[in-house]
């Protein structure tokens, strides 16, 4: 039974005039009805008689001076016409003006919901927005998405969504994420944000809920993941019909689908530990469609990089991971920021060596995780690195006609001012050089033939870019000067 309690604000116990006296009589009458059992009370079992999850039957509103049932219904219910239902629900006979301090119960099923929107914080690579009409357009940073929209990513395509409470959802490459519900209740501000993952992977950083009734869920074809104050990832493999959940911070409540494929989501206000399976930080979960929820699995520890601070100056960006005997592979993500909100590359490898091609010069962050036998990503480690292509090629030509050697050098980028140094010596350690020319601006140097013997030489390129000094030394080369006959 639902006990409807009406009260007058303290300090205003005396209600003046006929209108006040009438309201006081109504309050007394309702109190008598409640005491005699004439008013339906709220069920004491939060899961209902059959054990199903249910929401509270009403929300509470305290009247302000001059409120009418008509006004309250227009502001907080589905429309002004709901004043009749509101009056019946509270045993109020007419939509007349009410004094301040009256506690009204508003039916939860009729509460007005306003739409929210999520802003696209970042995109990279091929990303599209599919409208509810089925029309597709490229998705760009700064656009606003609403309920009914879908985000589609291609190879090396990524999108990051920024929600009104500061939460973020990162859509990984080759994924499809639909915005199933993005609303809040006008009266309470409680949010209901539900996303559907059709395939691929998403990663969420969800802020702590400020209300028990706030709802944040990721639905896949096999599970429902409910989260609050959590850093987690959800992936769905269409071929294997498997959902994988990894929790890095906080906890994720996982519930199954019915045999008919319809979801049975936890309702707002239900604690996470009421879920079929609670997965806490440092654990994961693997569940197949139409199967029981998988048991929690320990995530593999964060791996380490070999030589993490080295400058990535080659044609390709390469990483070597300290091998983990329990890992079947490694997952590497490259982004512009340490939190991986601005993703640019995603690569899974079966060995401890990873290669990325076509990565422009910039400062990046790489996140590495070991992959276990279940296909779950382990705990991540993040490293900053600099990508600065600084190729240096050299050559030497014996110009017999002029009795000279011509040494040449070429750098991969000519848009940055570069100075060169040339060293020629009779030993590999380059001590006591015969030639040591510095501050060269050109791309070649001619010297007369040295005495008969074997010599070693190298070229060094120096440049100053983005307030940093870079130096590149060519591999040590040798030349043999034969004697004259």
Domains annotated on the chain, with CATH: 17-111 (no CATH), 114-298 (2.60.120.1440), 317-387 (2.60.40.10), 392-481 (2.60.40.10)
Smallest CA-to-CA distance from 459 within 484, 431, 435 is with: 435
Degrees to nearest 5, angle at CA 474 with 470 and 478: 155
Joined together, the tokens standing for residue 384 give: 């900053």
Other CB atoms within a 10 A radius of the CB of residue 337 amount to: 13
Q: Which of 45-49, 66-70, 352-356, 409-413 has the lowest mean pLDDT?
A: 45-49
Provide the β-strand partners of residue 335: 343, 365
Smallest CA-to-CA distance from 392 within 406, 409, 416, 408 is with: 409
pLDDT of residue 309: 83
Q: Residue 365 is inside which H or E element, if any?
A: strand 362-371
pTM given for the model: 0.76
CB 160 within 8 A of CB 170: yes
Q: Is the dihedral of CA 272, 372, 160, 129 positive or negative?
A: negative
Between helices 83-90 and 69-76, what is the axis angle to 10°? 110
Residue with tokens 């009749």: 84
Is pLDDT at 345 greater than 80 in this prediction? yes
pLDDT of residue 161: 98
In whole angstroms, what is the distance from residue 198 CA to residue 240 CA? 13
Joined together, the tokens standing for residue 446 give: 């001619």
pLDDT tens digits for range 122-148: 999 999 999 988 899 999 999 999 999
Task: Tell me the mean pLDDT in the region 441-457.
Answer: 92
Smallest CA-to-CA distance from 97 within 61, 74, 67 is with: 67
Smallest CA-to-CA distance from 317 within 344, 346, 353, 357 is with: 357
């Amino acid at each position: 039974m639902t006990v409807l309690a009406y009260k007058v604000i303290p300090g205003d116990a005396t209600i003046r005039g006929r209108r006040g006296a009438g309201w006081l009589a109504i309050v007394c009458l309702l109190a008598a009805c409640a005491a005699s059992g004439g008013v339906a009370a709220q069920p004491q079992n939060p899961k209902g008689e059959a054990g199903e999850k249910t929401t509270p039957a009403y929300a509470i509103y305290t009247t302000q001076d001059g409120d009418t049932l008509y006004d309250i219904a227009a502001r907080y219910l589905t429309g002004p016409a709901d004043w009749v239902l509101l009056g019946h629900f509270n045993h109020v006979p007419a939509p007349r003006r009410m004094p301040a301090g009256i506690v009204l119960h508003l039916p939860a099923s009729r509460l007005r919901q306003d739409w929210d929107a999520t802003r696209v914080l970042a995109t990279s690579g091929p990303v599209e927005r599919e409208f509810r009409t089925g029309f597709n357009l490229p998705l760009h940073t700064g656009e606003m998405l609403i309920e009914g929209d879908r985000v589609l990513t291609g190879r090396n395509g990524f999108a990051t969504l920024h929600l009104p409470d500061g939460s973020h959802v990162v859509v990984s490459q080759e994924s499809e994420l639909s915005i199933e519900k993005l609303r809040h209740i006008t009266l309470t501000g409680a949010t209901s944000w539900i996303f559907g993952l059709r395939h691929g992977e998403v990663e969420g950083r969800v802020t702590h809920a400020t209300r028990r009734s706030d709802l944040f869920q990721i639905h896949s074809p096999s599970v429902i993941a409910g989260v609050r104050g959590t850093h987690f990832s959800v992936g769905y493999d269409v071929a294997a019909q498997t959902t994988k959940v990894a929790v890095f911070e906080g906890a994720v409540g996982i519930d199954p689908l019915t045999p008919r494929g319809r979801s049975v989501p936890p309702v707002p206000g239900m604690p996470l530990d009421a879920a079929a399976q609670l997965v806490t930080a440092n654990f994961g979960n693997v569940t197949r469609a139409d199967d029981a929820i998988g048991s929690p699995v320990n995530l593999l520890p964060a791996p380490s990089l070999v030589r993490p601070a080295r400058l990535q100056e080659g044609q390709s960006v390469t990483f070597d991971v300290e091998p983990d005997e329990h890992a079947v592979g490694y997952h590497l993500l490259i982004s512009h920021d340490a939190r991986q909100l601005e993703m640019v590359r995603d690569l899974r490898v079966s060995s401890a060596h990873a290669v990325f091609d076509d990565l422009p010069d910039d400062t990046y962050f790489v996140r590495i995780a070991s992959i276990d036998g279940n296909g779950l990503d382990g705990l991540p480690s993040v490293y900053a690195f600099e990508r600065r292509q600084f190729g240096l090629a050299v050559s030497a030509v014996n110009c017999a006609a002029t009795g000279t050697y011509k040494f040449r050098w070429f750098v991969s980028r000519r848009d940055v001012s570069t100075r060169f140094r040339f060293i020629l010596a009779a030993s590999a350690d380059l001590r006591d050089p015969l030639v040591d020319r510095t501050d060269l601006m050109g791309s070649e140097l001619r010297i007369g033939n040295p005495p008969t013997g074997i010599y070693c030489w190298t070229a060094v390129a120096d440049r100053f870019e983005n307030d940093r000094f870079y130096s590149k030394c060519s591999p040590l080369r040798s030349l043999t000067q034969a004697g004259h006959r």
